[in-house]
Chains A and B, each alone.
Chain A
Amino acid sequence: MRTLTLIVLLAFARTAPAYAPESSDSDAEAKILAMERVWGQAYLSKDPKALERILDNTFVNVNSDGRLQTKADVLVEVRTSTVLQFLTESMAVHLHGNTAIVTGIFLIKGVERGKPFAQRERFVGTWLRKNGQWVSIAGLVTRIGQ
């Protein structure tokens, strides 16, 4: 009987994946949404450290003025941020294997050149699972109501 139990346990052990970073699509979605929220925190704290890890070195973004930004440009923007409030809403993730598309809206309030500003913008982001880690490879932001 003990031998049978051992065989059954070993059989189950063999079916378990050796490396399972995410057990389901919803885990991947939750991870990506959490990393999207890191963006807002980075702009509020003017600390690009966390963002540095989740942006791929080839990352490109098109901002709401239609300007192309590299990873380095975004990190500088974070360090010099004048954002006082950063809220996200209606975020959704669409998974396509190792690629994820995130859409959502953010509301940003802050002060620029002494003048307060408030912008509501829609964004789309592309994430890629690289060596078991999700990294952001591209994004675009556009103003709502243009």
Chain B
Amino acid sequence: MSALPLKAGSGALRRKLPKLRLNPVFLVLALLILAITWYNPSFIEPAGLMNFLRRAAPLVVLTCGQLFVLVTGGFDLSAGSLVTLTVIGGSLITLGDPAMTWPAIAILFAIGLVAGAVNGLVVHRLKVPSIITTLGMLLLLKGTALMWSGGSPRGYLPENFRAFGRLVWRDIPVLGILPVAVLVLVAVVAIAAWLLHRTQFGKLALAIGDNARAGELAGIGVGRVRVAAFVLSALSAVTAGILIGGFAGVSVDAGDGMELQAIAAGVIGGVQLLGGRGTVAGAVAGALALYALFTLLNFIGLPQPVRESMQGVILIAAAASAWRQRREG
């Protein structure tokens, strides 16, 4: 619950301290880490942190992708089911054969590309709100996953596929251990940061989210940017799926609800809900904070499903404060 009061006040804080450009989410994250360490002192050791990052990696990766959609003013509710499809598809394409891993990954990314493109085109061309479009895509992907696996996924993923999520290199200086997942995490974050903050595309995405009409009149290809955003979200979902396949095994609800977690994480990290503002650093911190919150709740002993309710509360609180800011601002 510690995320909430600070979130509601963050808008006011930011206005009262204009010089202090620090995103409050970092404070929240720091507090949560301290709290967890109190329960589990070994958390703060390199090995503990690395493990934490390894397990949080799928959510962080997914949030980085969702960030692009959020920043352009939409929502991608199909990301979770794409994660599931990746896991199931991975096992069905490879059939446990390590030689098929790379082709499988290529196919899965291709599927993600198509799914994202369809999302973007339906929203831009057919003007169907992204919530409905991506909900429909969720059904489509889920149905595909079920159909493909005949309803009950069997089989397993080959070792090298699972390596992404599972493999941990030992005896690394300073860090002690280095999970491959953390490398993937760093790579994805770097790419996302580059795309959003260091390319023309990123600036255009932020502009479109803020004022698509102004963008259109300035001659910007709004549709292209939007489709690209959805494609990025889908690709990040496939990546997250590959990671999850590594440590969770094959199941029908591997990715269930992850998109809502990603949205909540983005909002905690300071992403503006109708578009126009957001940073990768904030989104990453938001995802880590959310995951830290769940970890903390686990230590305290609160049951898993409370997680979902909390997300609901966070979503609403974030939306309520965001809207108030928009109206006053």
Judge: A and B partners, yes or no.
no
